[in-house]
Amino acid sequence: ACAVLITMREFHTSHECELSCAEFWALRLDEGFDKHIAQYDGQVFNMVWIDHFDDPANGEKMVKRRVRLTFKENPVPKALRGMLKDPDFAFHVDAKWYHKLYDEPHAMVYSLQLPVFSDRISVTGRQWAEPISATRCRLRCHVTVAASKMPGLVGQVERGVEKGMKEAYALLPARAEEYAEMVRLAAAATPSSAKVSGAVGDSISPAVAAEAAGAEAVAAQLEASPHDFAGSCNGDGAARAARAVAVSSATQDAVDSVALAAAFDAAHAAHEHAHEHEEGHAHAHTHAHAHT
């Protein structure tokens, strides 16, 4: 039997945020922030389970949870959904972090379960905050992508994952600042007796109806014919699609970009296989498309 070869990519991100460490970390415990980001990116946020507990090592409060995310409009064309193990294109994020500790030794840890290649691709990460001043912080992330070798496919997925996640984390500070300001404005405009309790604490969860224009554009593009769709995946098409669709968030950790990069490549590979099979019946030879 052939040995399974594993490739691994690691990268770091570092971005300044106009919130204190404590202010940013409090958003982790506000489910309204999760839903705000999900709506921003055209996603549906579902809490599968959540557990709050004390760390026996230091007595500090921790939270552990699993989240299920789907797109409001499935970005995979109907004609190609049957090629995926999960036609709903759902993916999961398992995460664990401290309520009030956010330095590197107590970083948030997470793992992503993709709707495709989940047995071949592993994405794990750590995120923490470092104080810059009393009102500003630096958000740092360390991400590891490990994959079993699939010639011509995994390398492209890995590159798409890295590009998509880096761009997603670059948007994280602005998204957090925007939501924190919305909470402040809502709190100022709401009588204390009418404040709505959030997931943890008394945070306001404002409704946000804006859809990501990029997600709509890509979803519309993907409704094109399978041939056009496959052509769009050549080169770094997966990374371009991931960037166009969105750029996830603090709590969802760019999983939309990751999943799309993998799914686009999976659909492209399946389409190429089907296309070659059809041409084999129509011609004496099969024309193989280049896939860089």
Non-local CB neighbours of 287 within 8 Å, separated by 6+ positions: 276, 279
Token pair for residue 240? 């371009």
- Please tell me the distance from the alpha carbon of residue 156 to that of residue 108, in angstroms, as a whole number: 28
pLDDT recorded at residue 73: 77
For the whole model, what pTM was predicted?
0.66
pLDDT mean over 115-142: 91
CA 279 to chain centre: 37
Closest CA relative to residue 21, chosen from 105, 97, 101? 101
Question: Please, what is the Cα angle at 286 between 281 and 291, to 5 degrees?
Answer: 135
What is the 8-class DSSP label of residue 105? G
- Please tell me the distance from the alpha carbon of residue 96 to that of residue 61, in angstroms, as a whole number: 11
**Domains of the chain: residue spans and CATH:** 6-282 (3.30.530.20)
| Residue range 147-197, pLDDT digits in tens | 876 666 667 777 777 887 888 788 889 999 999 999 999 888 877 655 443
Non-local CB neighbours of 41 within 8 Å, separated by 6+ positions: 212, 215, 245, 246, 247, 248, 249, 252, 256
Which residue would you say has higher pLDDT here, 244 or 142?
Answer: 142
Closest CA relative to residue 146, chosen from 169, 166, 120? 120
pLDDT recorded at residue 281: 40
- Please tell me the distance from the alpha carbon of residue 121 to that of residue 158, in angstroms, as a whole number: 9
